[in-house]
Amino acid sequence: MEFQELFNGIVVQGLFEELSNFFSTHLFTFGGKQFSIGSMVELLFQLIIVLVISNLTKQLLKQRVFPGVGLNIGTSESLSTIGSYVVTLIGFFVVIESTGINFSSLTVFAGAIGLGFGIGLQNITSNFISGITLLFEQPVKVGDYIEVEQLAGIVEDISIRSTTIRTINNVFVIVPNSRFLENGVVNWSYRDPKCRIVIPILVVDESDSLTVMEALLAAARQESRVLAAPSPEVYFKGLDAEKSMLKFELLVWIERPIEQDSIKSALQFLIEAEFRDRDLDTKAAPTDIVFNDLPTIAQLLQGIQNGSPPKAIAPDKPISGWLLRDLLKKVSYFQHCSDVELRQVIEKGYRKKLAAGEVIARENDPGDAFYLILSGAVEVVVESIDQQVAVRRSGEFIGEMSLLLGTPRSATLRTIEDTILFIVDHANLQSLLSSHHELADQIAEALSQRQEALKSLGVTVTEATKEETPFQLIRKQIESIFDL
């Protein structure tokens, strides 16, 4: 037993000596200092510690120190990055000094290396210096919305070599820092984020200019993201002689430049609605007559020459289908909605295709949406008694009661043929009701006339009138469900 322990001790001691000799193996001499495998491992470990301390310093400054001072996100990001670089640089020199390297003996070598790097790494050096310039001068900061070389997006991060930009399509683009100093940069967030956007408008030359101005200003004042001060303006730019159209420009101020495309689109919808209400036309009259169907024209002329009256030519395809706007107005609760209000529903709703036999919603499911049937057919089945109570076809709507009152589904909805639905969900309707409070009153008024609405809430008319009217009960229910 003692022999075995002695043998094991000799083996362990031998292994230790082998490892010691391995880590003591001389590799090279640099700056008057001999480097072995062990010293290189130690040096690498020290450098890792420096990098960890540098990263912790950056996070501490960015998350704890600068927010307490009241600095904005861009400035705190820049200063914390600079702080981490300073810690890294100091730590690097401390580690090198601790190894015993003689810097004076490296002067010529460092000069040669620096020259080689300067020639071979011009772009990296340029980006490095540009990164330092961006961090100190801050013409571009983290959080800014910028445009550079037809690339637009929000600055997510500025590093020593490159800058990360997130576009409005949520695509991350890595841009070398030198491009920000070599090219013109549009910084929409610099100093004052407010900016003015211009929407050109053409109307037929017979239009009344004052009516056009009134319509444009009315549209601008309906968009909540347009600032009231500075107020919207309309410029009359004269006549477009080539198109025989009057040229106008609507100028509005906004404070979130990244939303300018969305705001322009919303304004175009509002302008179209205002123009339609005032019978303003934006389509120029055709100046050329184009004969697209010469055989048909010849047939008509031949009939006239023979003394027979011309017959109406039936179109190749019958006009069919409904506009979503018209379908929504068939729902009693939306009958009095303006086109602008209905546009919000249409914008945020979505279509869904279902095969025959698919279940749309089951009995007792939460009412989180209602459906317009664009094509196909849907059966309404009460599964508790296994009975079909109705069949809804294209142009009809289903499931609105559960959504509006927040009650469970009273029946199962199932397609009986291939069907396309337009779906209005809870979030969609909540957005509409939040911006148009009078619509909630209209819906409550319509529902209060329906006995099944009160019944679904477990209230009879006689019970309702003791303390609150049916309208008040339903209005409170809608406010609770949609957080109004």
C-alpha dist (Å) from residue 112 to 103, 109, 118, 125, 189: 14, 5, 10, 16, 44
Indicate the domain borders of the chain.
27-120, 139-187, 195-277, 324-482
What is the percent of the chain with per-residue pLDDT over 70, rounded to a whole number? 72
Residues 224-234, mean pLDDT to the nearest whole number: 88
Using one digit for the tens of pLDDT, what is the confidence trace for 286-315? 555 455 555 555 555 565 555 554 444 443
Dist CA 450 CA 444 (whole Å) = 10
- When pLDDT is cut at 50, 70 and 90, the band that residue 277 belongs to is confident
Higher pLDDT, residue 199 or 401:
199
* Long-range contacts of the stretch 159-165 (C-beta < 8 A, 24+): 159/81, 159/131, 160/85, 160/127, 160/128, 160/131, 160/132, 161/124, 161/127, 161/128, 161/131, 162/127, 162/131, 163/131, 163/134
Phi then psi for residue 405, to 5 deg, are: -105, -10
Out of 8-17, 181-190, 331-340, 458-467, pick the least confident: 458-467
pLDDT in tens, 99-157: 766 656 555 455 555 555 555 556 666 666 776 777 777 778 888 888 887 888 888 88
pLDDT band at 192; cut points 50, 70, 90: confident
Q: pTM of the entire structure? A: 0.54
| 8 Å CB contact between 356 and 417 | yes
**Angle formed at CA 223 by CA 217 and CA 227, multiple of 5 degrees:** 80
Q: Report the pLDDT value the prediction gives residue 378, as an integer from 0 to 100.
A: 92
Q: What are phi and psi of 170, to 5 degrees?
A: 65, 35
pLDDT at 253: 93
- The DSSP annotation for 94-119 comes to HHHHHTT--GGGGHHHHHHHHHHHHH
Is the pLDDT at 276 greater than 80? The verdict is yes
Fold of the domain built from segment(s) 195-277: Alpha-Beta Plaits (3.30.70)
Q: Are the C-beta atoms of residues 193 and 259 closer than 8 Å to each other?
A: no
Torsion of the alpha carbons at 31, 36, 42 and 43, rounded to the nearest 10: 30
Beta bridge partners of 166: 154, 172
Note the pLDDT of residue 346: 76
Burial of 389 (0-12, 13-18, 19+ CB in 10 A): exposed
Helix H segments across 306-406?
Answer: 324-330, 339-348, 400-405
Report whether CATH 2.60.120.10 matches the domain 324-482.
yes
Count other Cβ atoms within 10 Å, centred on residue 192.
8
The dihedral formed by the CA atoms of 425, 431, 432 and 438, expressed in degrees to the nearest 10? 120
Q: Which amino acid is at 61?
A: L
Q: Of the candidates 141, 284, 266, 115, which has an alpha carbon nearest to the alpha carbon of residue 199?
A: 266
Q: Phi/psi of residue 139, each to 5°?
A: -70, -25
Rounded to the nearest integer, the mean pLDDT of the chain is 76
pLDDT: is 78 or 285 the higher one? 78
What residues form DSSP beta bridges with 352?
421
Report the percent of the chain where pLDDT is more than 90.
Answer: 8
Which fold, 139-187? Answer: SH3 type barrels. (2.30.30)
26: CB partners within 8 A, 6+ apart: 34, 35, 36
